[in-house]
Amino acid sequence: MFRFLILFFLLYGGLHGYVFWKAKSAFSPGLVVSLLLTAIMAFMVVAPVLIRISERYGLESIARTLSYVGYTWMGVLFLFVSFSLVFEACRLFLYLVGSIWKIGGISLLLSAPLAFFLPLILAFGVFVYGWFDARNIRVETLTLKTDKLSPETGRLRLVQISDVHIGLMNGSDLLSRVLKVVREAKPDLLVSTGDLLDGQINSMEKVLPLLQDIQPRLGKYAVTGNHEFYAGIAEAEAFTRKAGFEMLRGKGVTAAGMINIVGIDDPAGWAAGQYRPAREGALLETLPAQHFTLLLKHQPLVDKNALDRFDLQLSGHTHKGQIFPFSLVTRWYFPFHTGSFRLSGLSRLHVSRGTGTWGPPIRFLSPPEVTVIDLIPAQVSARNFNGKEKGRFPGRSN
């Protein structure tokens, strides 16, 4: 955690240093204004830490105010720097083209004030768009044929939510939107693939009835994400159980004699000293092989030793970067970044873009997702199912 904080302050502080330099170039502020701007930026750099401290000591109003101010600032700052660097890259490219090919008149000259305000206007515009887009829940659909369901069983509909991040900024309003989509899908089974909660537990009792109201016939299951450990795993487990989920931590169950569900702890548990180790391959072998096996893991990490021992792995965590161009970084770090992948002859993986937001309350080119998965007996054509049910959620079939 200490090394993470050092890296965070270096990177986030560096972004602020760049913005300070751009502002100083544009406006040439005097000493007093420069010191005031430095103080504001220094406060914003440490705001995320102050939020967690305020939460820990029960100062919820202060923490919530700091969250909206600090994370809005973070989002606009990141977008401003991104647009500004794009302009700088374009200027450099045109300069090099003109220099190499001796072409005159090719340039992108902007005055210092315009070079500051143009990225800033674009950043605010994208932020406003991203704020609304983060509340426009999309549905991704998958249709999987399997010979592990009998025709008599019929279709099983699974719904996945992931990375909801219920907390200071994502409360009952966002959760109501999410659960409206879940309710309309009429799931047989609901799973949460981690980060249902965000940070400390803050007045969560008021959102419990919303989650408790969803009661699929095959139950609700959840696994830990990194934020469950940040929140305090004991409190997170208690909340998740009260919400009606069974938490699977290195554990497998067979729901109603129809489908195997296996849950693996998030690696963040190691740092907290609360990780429940489980050898995936050995754990999967303990379950009835004739049933469809669902593997729940927060991070889209694939254990090669477990391949062909599960049918579908559901993961999240990446948010697809949440805000482009940060998605370029997350795509580099997580090869299975977002969407569906065939891992082997039997095993597949679906990585959700996430349903909520972490940090800045926006999404840009990474819309929030609820995943609807229909399992169809191999002997039965999907056309045999009610067209109204099938047509409600346009998406991919696999």
Which pLDDT tens digit goes with each residue over 307-334?
A: 999 999 999 999 999 999 999 999 999 9
- Looking at per-residue pLDDT, the higher value among 192 and 235 belongs to 192
pLDDT value at position 125?
98
- Is the separation of the CB atoms in 160 and 370 below 8 Å? yes
Q: Which pLDDT band holds residue 21 (cuts at 50, 70, 90)?
A: very high
Stretch 83-108: mean pLDDT:
78
Q: What distance in Å separates the CA atoms of residue 377 and residue 152, rounded to the nearest whole number?
A: 9
Indicate the DSSP class of residue 103. -
pLDDT value at position 398?
39
pLDDT value at position 380?
74
Q: What distance in Å separates the CA atoms of residue 12 and residue 32, rounded to the nearest whole number?
A: 24
Whether the per-residue pLDDT at 171 is higher than 80: the answer is yes
Query: What pTM value is reported for the model?
Result: 0.92
Q: What distance in Å separates the CA atoms of residue 162 and residue 226, rounded to the nearest whole number?
A: 12
Closest CA to 157 of 370, 382, 383, 375: 375
Sheet holding 251-255, edge to edge: 251-255, 259-264, 292-297, 312-315, 348-351, 339-342
43-57, 129-143, 243-257, 323-337: segment of lowest average pLDDT: 43-57
pLDDT value at position 34?
96
Q: What distance in Å separates the CA atoms of residue 163 and residue 161, rounded to the nearest whole number?
A: 7
pLDDT value at position 382?
59
Q: What distance in Å separates the CA atoms of residue 47 and residue 49, rounded to the nearest whole number?
A: 5
pLDDT value at position 56?
83
Indicate the DSSP class of residue 383. G
Strands 369-377, 339-342: parallel, antiparallel or unpaired by DSSP? unpaired
Mean pLDDT across the chain: 91
pLDDT value at position 90?
86
Q: What distance in Å separates the CA atoms of residue 79 and residue 72, rounded to the nearest whole number?
A: 11
pLDDT value at position 391?
36
Where along the chain do the CATH 3.60.21.10 domains lie? 139-391
Terminal CA-CA length for the chain: 40
CATH topology classification for 139-391:
Purple Acid Phosphatase; chain A, domain 2 (3.60.21)
Whether the per-residue pLDDT at 91 is higher than 90: the answer is no
Q: What distance in Å separates the CA atoms of residue 326 and residue 343, rounded to the nearest whole number?
A: 26
pLDDT value at position 372?
98
Closest CA to 377 of 144, 62, 157: 144
Q: Which pLDDT band holds residue 177 (cuts at 50, 70, 90)?
A: very high
Q: What distance in Å separates the CA atoms of residue 275 and residue 261, rounded to the nearest whole number?
A: 19
Tokens of 8: 């965070």
Whether the per-residue pLDDT at 199 is higher than 80: the answer is no
Residues of the chain with pLDDT > 90: what percent?
78
Tokens of 103: 């072409």
- Looking at per-residue pLDDT, the higher value among 3 and 145 belongs to 145
Write down how long the chain is: 398
pLDDT value at position 104?
61
pLDDT value at position 395?
36
pLDDT value at position 176?
96
Q: Which amino acid is at 182?
A: V
Pure H helices in 186-250: 208-212, 226-231, 233-242
pLDDT value at position 19?
97
